[in-house]
Amino acid sequence: VDAPMDGRIPYYCIDLGFHLDWDTFSTGTRRLFKVEDGAALRRKFEQIDKDGDGVITFLEWYETLQLGDVNELIGNCLQQGPLCRAALDDHKLELCNSAIRRVRKIM
């Protein structure tokens, strides 16, 4: 991806080789989202870290998080910007999950 003239990387550039350790995950999550239970946050990290090596890879992140997880995460944003406002309510989340199930049956 070519960087813009000001040197910033475009928002749509995803580093598929990223590695996220516990300290980075915890610090970043606490900076962006409401975290009331540190033990639950640690369990979430361990759930995503499928191979238990203490590092979350892009594939582990991608394969573990479900639509409901993402929706819950963005619903807990500390800043109420466009992403937070885009969080689905329970009804819309169920409609999306229903559509996903139908597509999987067809495939």
- Higher confidence at residue 77 or residue 7? 77
> Among 1-5, 29-33, 66-70, which is the least confidently predicted range?
1-5
Question: Cα–Cα distances in Å, from 47 out to 11, 29, 66?
Answer: 27, 15, 12
Q: Measured on CA atoms in the order 71, 72, 77, 80, is the torsion positive or negative?
A: positive
Q: What is the pLDDT at residue 58? A: 87
DSSP bridge pairs for 57? 19
What CA–CA distance (Å, rounded) separates 93 from 49?
A: 25
Q: What is the mean pLDDT of the chain?
A: 83
- Whole-model pTM: value is 0.68
Question: What is the residue whose two structure tokens read 């999950």?
Answer: 97
